[in-house]
Amino acid sequence: MTSVEELALRCLFPGFEGSEAPDWVRRRVASGLGGVVLFARNVDAPEQLTALSDALHGERPQLVIAIDEEGGDVTRLEARSGSSYPGNLALGVADDVGLTRDVAAAIGAELARRGIDLDLAPVADVNSNPLNPVIGVRSFGSDASPVARHTAAWIEGLQSTGVAACAKHFPGHGDTSIDSHLALPVVDEDPHLRALQPFRSAISSGVKAIMSAHIVATAIDRAPATISRRIMTALLRDELGFKGIAITDGLEMRGLSDGVGMTEGAVLSLIAGCDALCIGGGLAGEDAVEDIVRAVAAAIRQGRLAEERLNEAASRVDALAAWCSHRGESGRESRDIGLVAARRAVVAEGPIRIGGEAVVARFTTPTSMVAGGVPWGMAAALSTQGVRVSAFDVDAEGGAHSLEAPLRVAAGKSLVAVVRDLHRRLAQREAIDSLLGSRPDAVVVEMGLPLCRPGGAMAYIATNGSARVCAEAAAEVMTGMTAP
């Protein structure tokens, strides 16, 4: 392998399949791979994750092991059960920066114990568009100032444990109505007006990494931010003064790859000023690594990419690894703070108490590409509180027919209707109105953005996120275990 190929390899952060590192990953790590990104598919149990991290670091101690552990709706450590920590919106609603700092420190302590070096969190986006399909409850809110405060607190809490934080998605993915996993969103508002404030706060707090967004910010450039030198160098480095590592969002995401392709996107990202190249959410084989290394080496030969720029990028990866290697004691690992925070975020209105028997009708929603198939809803949490639950999944597209079974079984029992982002789903709003017409005493529980309180709902609860711990906090309120 040439020196240029070695530098290119150091800038790569691929993903892989399985709970053990494949031979190709171990071989590449030993050859100088900069990092890896772990997903839920790589995590079976806490002890297994520790063993995986130990094995990878055993090949090369300087390897940066990264994971997306936001808490709330996006969790890799607890993808099978739901998170023990509420997400950003719940923390924003509680609006206690000390609490936010403590939650992030608890997450960091757990990650540090499992050998994780870099958490690809927090989301620093201002959720200024209520129809945003990919940010939503992952944001601390829709007002830039509190988002900035909580972004800083989250970073401080996490990094106090020796795990590096990554503010995302620069220069702001909040004012979009398209998921960049699927297409290229365009933002017309100048990021300076709102979106940059949390990133300024993150930089002031010493955040070690910032992740690019596959969006077009037309006020600055017509190129996607990830491959825009005006954004990733002139704005991020020169104007905002960021000195840490700039990481791309997944290069195979269609917001970027549909336009320029994955390998060309990797080259253009480096030219623009990105340092670490993330792949592996959708592509998880060695071929992607080989293709990018070859493309970067060719770009150097052709004079499109300066070797000095590539060396700078690799040096920033090395600097992050060096910071992580000095991690000391990470503090006491405890998930108790998660339930404390979730309780603070529950908002309840009306007669929300239920009896010992209840029908729970969960209105189904599409699986988010970023969150995956993490379980959500109220049935399990209410059962844990001793309620005898009959659970139904309702497809609102089925119209009134889909409500027949839960309404029939609910005769003489409490009825709980569980929704997520009701404001975005016309068919569900119509179905909820129909259900409330028959059962005006039903408790409506919104586990997404609480922007659409049904007019006929006498009892309404907003959990401000669908994490398991948010459901547990709501179940306590509904069964009288805690005061609303």
Residues carrying an active site annotation:
181, 249
- Going by C-alpha positions, the residue among 205, 208, 198 that lies closest to residue 141 is 198
Joined together, the tokens standing for residue 359 give 């029908």
- Going by C-alpha positions, the residue among 438, 419, 415, 441 that lies closest to residue 428 is 419
Q: How many CB atoms are closer than 10 A to CB 306?
A: 13
Q: Is the dihedral of CA 322, 328, 334, 338 positive or negative?
A: negative
Exposure string over 175-195, b if 16+ CB within 10 A, otherwise e: bbebbbbeebbebebebeebb
Q: Is 25 helix (H, G, I), strand (E, B) or coil?
A: helix
DSSP state for residue 163 in the 8-state scheme: P
Mutual orientation of helices 286-302 and 23-30 as an angle, nearest 10°?
A: 40
Joined together, the tokens standing for residue 371 give 């969150």
d(C-alpha 78, C-alpha 87), whole Å: 13
Give Cβ neighbours of residue 457 (< 8 Å, ≥ 6 apart). Answer: 350, 432, 436, 442, 444
Do the beta carbons of residue 390 and residue 382 sit within 8 Å?
no
d(C-alpha 153, C-alpha 158), whole Å: 9
| Paired strand residues for 74 | 71
Give Cβ neighbours of residue 86 (< 8 Å, ≥ 6 apart). Answer: 71, 72, 103, 338, 341, 342, 345, 464, 465, 467, 469, 470
- Residue owning tokens 């190249």: 277
Do the beta carbons of residue 67 and residue 44 sit within 8 Å?
no
Q: Is 85 helix (H, G, I), strand (E, B) or coil?
A: coil
Q: Which pairs count as long-range contacts for 190-196, CB under 8 Å and 24+ apart, including other chains?
A: 190/217, 190/219, 190/220, 191/217, 191/219, 191/220, 191/235, 192/219, 194/126, 194/128, 194/144, 195/125, 195/126, 195/128, 195/144, 195/171, 196/171, 196/172, 196/240
Do the beta carbons of residue 125 and residue 173 sit within 8 Å?
yes
